[in-house]
Amino acid sequence: MKKNMGSTDKLIRIIAAVIVGILYFTGVISGILAVVLLVLAVVFVLTSFVSFCPLYAPFKISTCSIKENK
């Protein structure tokens, strides 16, 4: 897998996942919405750790700088 996510992209995804986690554990979101957002948060964290987003690949999108790609 070739990296296609830059540092800023990864940071934004992790922050979004943390916010969803906080909203869930404080009881602000619940039900089906909470489940969907939690699954999305897990996907955000996983893709951030591997620096690869499968949705970017078919569209040839890369937020990774040339330095980070090596």
Could you write out the DSSP letters of every residue in 38-57? HHHHHHHHHHHHHT--TTTT
Is residue 6 predicted with pLDDT exceeding 80?
yes
| Mean pLDDT for the chain overall | 91
Write down the pTM of the prediction.
Answer: 0.84
Q: Average the pLDDT over 45-63 and give the result.
A: 91
Question: Quick check: 69 and 15 in contact, CB under 8 A?
Answer: no
Question: Quick check: 38 and 22 in contact, CB under 8 A?
Answer: no
> What is the model's pLDDT at position 9?
94
